[in-house]
Amino acid sequence: MCTAFHVVEDAVKFVKKWSPIAQREITVEDRQLVQVEVFKYEKLSRCVGGTTYQAEIVAWDKELDYAVLKLRTEEKFDHVAKLYPRGKEADIKLGREVIAAGCSLGHEPLFTFGNLVSKHDMIENKEYWMCTANTIFGNCLTADTFIMTNPDGVVSITQVPIGSHIIALNEGTGVFEPARVLDVVYSGKQLVYKLRTTSKTIKATSNHSFLTPYGWERLDQLKRGDRVRSISYIPAYATGLTENDGRIIGIFLGDGWMRDREGEGFETVFCLFLPKDRETINFIRGYLGGEGTLDDRGLHFYTKSVYERMVSLGLKQTTSKEKTMPPELFLAKPSVRLAFLKGLLETDGWVTKRGEWRFEMANEKLISDVKLLAESLGFHANGPYMRDYRATSLNSKGRQIKGGPTWTIVVYPWEQYLVNYDIVQEITPLGIEDTYDLKVENHHNFLANGLVVHNSGGPIFLADTYEYIGNTARVSGIQLGFGFDIITWMGFFIPMEGIYKFFDENFLQFIYDSRFTSKQCEEMRRKKMEEEEKKLILPEFEPKPAPKERGY
């Protein structure tokens, strides 16, 4: 059977192995078994269950995003699609009706109908065809979904840079880790729903999958009281910041500002006062290496070196409502993230009698990021909750708050969770919106709005003969030079010419040519792999060119 390689990519490992020929350790490929679910239907219309089989990965191509699997069973299947004949692709005319099949994990296959609208599109030196059947199923998220990235921090899904790293869940180890973004895919205008949990909200399509304690479940299968996997403890992956850096960033984001006065000098200010902020002021003076000037407006530093040091931490000259958290902080060492929270606690936070940490800000985006960072330490957090001050007043810590809305979050620091689940509170339909997806290297999930999300795609068939004519390809409008406002339901797929070429290169001719047997092809693949391994470890195994004749 055929599938997209990214679906089974986690089962392909590269390990060190002793080579008796080379007399040293070499890196070899280790293909693990994967599980394949075969669905059973009643009268070819209603799914009545399925059976899971183990399968071997026979061949794969990461760049093509294609793989061939061999089921470990002797069972015969009644309904198997035929390959469209090789060399007959010209007979498939534009406008021909096609079917795209695919499924989000936790749900039986979904089928959508469309038409073939384009052939022979060349994208990055590869040929693709295009159809109007929806070829992407699953991770359909709205433009206001926020993704934690490195080095850009928390950004909307439409602003995720290709090549940046986001946070994904390693389903083998259960640990969150960075994963490189390969592509941002526009998935069309679709009906979306709002999922609200105990501490988070996200908008997604009904067939979007969420990770539960029992596996992946579609949004339309979730109900009130169900648990979905959310952000929990994230190890350190960036080590540039120190604990003192973390603390000063927290203090500055809470009660600091700075400016370059364009020829009139620099100014860095912390709105702190004696005697109540004495310990914090002493820390700042020690960290920045100067006394500064303390007056009724706070602690001031007028040197360029102090200004540049703050900028080097990722801090910016901006208003309080436009402040952002330095991106590197999200993946800093846990002790640095904790120092940041404590620094912020000294300025825009306080500790309740029960030991809760409460933070209040006039910047909704920033306080949402603070909540995400607290959760990345394994802490449970609630909010943000909005409060509208009608006039200038004092907050719970005695600091002045100008009239207008503020947002509060509550962090519970007495327990850290390695695995965390949110409880579903409500699912409501919203309407039609633009939706997006991310293609992620070595993973098919990622953190979105603090929840673990998934995706899937599938094959393309002729609607009248059910012949297999290609497999979903993740090609976005961005790759083609368009912006994110591109609106299309059309999807690219790998045509049979590319798939037949894959079969030939991997000695799988028996799939389409009765002159070959499975055992013959298996033996050819084995010999080819041995030759490749010898070339890798012993250059002398490489064929040498014939000696040239001398010229007189």
- pLDDT (tens digit, 9 = 90+) per residue, 28-82? 788 888 878 787 777 666 666 678 788 899 988 887 888 899 999 888 887 788 9
- pLDDT (tens digit, 9 = 90+) per residue, 387-396? 887 655 555 4
Does residue 431 carry a pLDDT above 70?
yes
Is the domain of 155 the same as that of 176? yes
- Domain final residue pick, 386, 412, 438: 412
Is the domain of 220 the same as that of 249? no
Alpha helices, DSSP H, located in 172-299: 243-255, 278-288
Is the domain of 347 the same as that of 267? yes
Is the domain of 406 the same as that of 259? yes
Is the domain of 407 the same as that of 281? yes
**237 by DSSP, 3-state: which?**
coil
pLDDT at site 20: 75
| CATH number of the domain bearing residue 369 | 3.10.28.10
- pLDDT (tens digit, 9 = 90+) per residue, 333-366? 899 999 999 999 999 999 999 999 999 999 998 9
What is the count of structural domains for the chain?
A: 3
| C-alpha span between 153 and 170 (Å, rounded) | 21
- For residues 123 and 270, the model is more confident at 270
Two tokens at 286?
Answer: 């020690």
Q: Which of 331, 371, 341 is nearest to 248 (CA)?
A: 341
- pLDDT (tens digit, 9 = 90+) per residue, 236-280? 776 689 999 999 999 999 999 999 887 788 999 999 998 889 999
Domain contains 29: yes
**393 by DSSP, 3-state: which?**
strand
| C-alpha span between 24 and 400 (Å, rounded) | 69
Domain contains 131: no
Does residue 402 carry a pLDDT above 70?
no
The rounded percent of the chain whose pLDDT value lies above 70 is 83
Domain contains 135: no
Exposed, middle or buried, 64 (CB in 10 Å: 0-12/13-18/19+)?
middle
Is the domain of 216 the same as that of 282? no
Is the domain of 157 the same as that of 228? yes
10: domain range? 1-80+517-552
Contact by Cβ (8 Å): 390, 347 = no
Domain contains 379: yes
pLDDT at site 445: 74
Whole-number CA gyration radius for the chain? 29
**444 by DSSP, 3-state: which?**
coil
Average pLDDT over residues 124-152: 74
pLDDT at site 548: 45
Domain contains 126: no
Is the domain of 228 the same as that of 302? no
CA 365 to chain centre: 20
| C-alpha span between 395 and 412 (Å, rounded) | 20
C-beta pairs of 504-507 under 8 Å, 24+ apart in sequence: 506/58, 506/59, 506/68
- For residues 79 and 21, the model is more confident at 79
Is the domain of 281 the same as that of 429? no
- From 256-270, 336-350, 403-417, 473-487, the region with the lowest mean pLDDT: 473-487
Q: Work out the mean pLDDT of the chain and round it to a whole number.
A: 81
Is the domain of 287 the same as that of 366? yes
Is the domain of 374 the same as that of 429? no
Residue 482 pLDDT level (bands cut at 50, 70, 90): very low
Residue 538 pLDDT level (bands cut at 50, 70, 90): low
pLDDT at site 137: 45
Does residue 104 carry a pLDDT above 50?
no
Domain contains 404: yes
Exposed, middle or buried, 439 (CB in 10 Å: 0-12/13-18/19+)?
buried
Is the domain of 222 the same as that of 292? no
- For residues 416 and 61, the model is more confident at 61
| C-alpha span between 471 and 460 (Å, rounded) | 6
Contact by Cβ (8 Å): 417, 199 = no
Domain contains 136: no
What single DSSP character describes residue 550? P
Taken in order 169, 173, 175, 178, is the CA torsion positive or negative? Answer: negative
| CATH number of the domain bearing residue 176 | 2.170.16.10
Domain contains 110: no
pLDDT at site 550: 42
Q: Which of 257, 271, 268, 260 is nearest to 290 (CA)?
A: 268
